[in-house]
Amino acid sequence: MPPAHVNFTTSTISYSSSVDGWNLSYEETRPVPFNASRTYPLAIELHGLTGETLPVWGGLPNYVVPTTAQAAVDVGMILINPCTRTGSGWYIDSNYTGPQEQDILDALVHEQSIRHIGAVYLFGESMGSIGTLEIGLDHPGLFRGLGAIVSFSDFFEMFAYLNQTAYSYLTPYMLLPAGGLYPNASSYARGIFLHLSSLRFHPQNLSGVRLFVANGARDVLSSNNLSVWPYQQENNTLVNRTCLVTRVYAEPNSCTFPLSTLAALYPAKYSYRYIFEPNGPHDYYVMNATDMFGYFTGTEPTGTFWGTWPIPQARNPPQPLVVVATRPLSCGSVSIGGHGYRTGDTVPLSVGTYPVSFAPCGSKTVFSVHGSGGVHYSSSGSSVSVSASGALVVKFS
């Protein structure tokens, strides 16, 4: 449905690829009134998989979602929706599908040449979320914020899951930028898969970037439900650690240190807002655009929240979530209420006070312990009090 009030205008802007001269375009949405001498923040939206594989001169026509456009102009942003050369390029530069990452960067450069642009934000849904994470983490410092909707942090695991389900018809599209080869068939294909798994392998590149993510437990494509698939995509990259990899497809060994851990250890560098929706499917409207843009501009807080589809309003999770983080990252363990945890674990706990103890690694000892958010540590009582979500950070030395 269109928004209740509309104060924007949309027009098509043409530009050319800096790599091969291919004619492309994007839909530009501007606030009304618009001041050509004013500097505006810019939001770039990447669409999901549409299936077309042959390049289209001028770019595939793209649809601008009115509610998303309205949410962008409500916070004073210009919004552009690139019309990509194919509908299945995964937003990566490839020998087989063309320079589709550079196409997005070229659209940004062109918009900067015709408007006064300040901070830049990038977001997308499904395939567009993979492009957002890949491009955003590939260019640290270029974007102020990233938004990943019904997203995938691990392209290997996504491929392995889909390839053995009723959705295996999608896997040939996933192989297009790899020249049709599985990632275990060539170093080039493996490199493509690695590049499209940026959040799994390079979360540290999000330093200084505000990351917004919305995913659902009833999503049958981007699985975040252990009853569907062992790897929980964003749950395993934002909230809880995992060492699960799909070795049959040559995925390198890797244990994740979730973004929640990095944010607990380095709150000045890492920030995320994760809206987990227990009843959310693989659907564009898992995103609340007003909430996302509010987070980008600093009016919504960081952390992990629960949402309700189809009207995703963020609220606190049913129980406080306590992030366990240690320095060094792989050192030691923490016992809370008699249960042992390691760095990267996020523990749902009822409000209350729990005994806590520590098991340092090697010859190290406990140097410092502190809580954040709704978690408070008492050294005299060797306990933690939990009133709301937060983190328990332990430094061993």
Q: Note the pLDDT of residue 4.
A: 54
Q: 111, 84, 122: which is closest to 100 by C-alpha?
A: 84
Q: Note the pLDDT of residue 98.
A: 98
* Claim to verify: residue 22 and residue 166 sit in the same structural domain: yes
Q: Note the pLDDT of residue 312.
A: 76
Question: Residue 164 class from Cβ within 10 Å (0-12 exposed, 13-18 middle, 19+ buried)?
Answer: exposed
What single letter denotes the amino acid at residue 290? T
Domain that holds residue 325: 321-396
Q: Note the pLDDT of residue 6.
A: 67
* Claim to verify: residue 252 and residue 177 sit in the same structural domain: yes
* Claim to verify: residue 97 and residue 203 sit in the same structural domain: yes
* Claim to verify: residue 379 and residue 299 sit in the same structural domain: no
User: Do 221 and 282 contact (CB within 8 A), yes or no?
Assistant: yes
Number of Cβ atoms within 10 Å of the Cβ of 49: 18
State whether the Cα torsion 207-200-49-96 is positive or negative. positive
312 falls within a domain:
no
Measure the CA–CA gap between 319 and 296, rounded to whole angstroms.
26
3 falls within a domain:
no
Task: Choose one of 306, 330, 349: the last residue of a domain.
Answer: 306
Q: Note the pLDDT of residue 5.
A: 62
* Claim to verify: residue 208 and residue 123 sit in the same structural domain: yes
Q: What is the CATH number of the domain that holds 257?
A: 3.40.50.1820
Residues 168-205 have pLDDT tens digits of 999 999 999 999 999 999 999 999 999 999 999 999 99
Encoded tokens for 332 = 């030691």
Residues of the chain with pLDDT under 70: 1-6
Encoded tokens for 338 = 């008699």
Q: 390, 235, 240: which is closest to 319 by C-alpha?
A: 390
Measure the CA–CA gap between 178 and 58, rounded to whole angstroms.
24
Task: Choose one of 250, 273, 306: the last residue of a domain.
Answer: 306
* Claim to verify: residue 109 and residue 208 sit in the same structural domain: yes
Which residues does 288 contact at the CB level (< 8 Å), separation at least 6?
Answer: 214, 275, 307, 312, 313, 314
User: Do 133 and 213 contact (CB within 8 A), yes or no?
Assistant: no
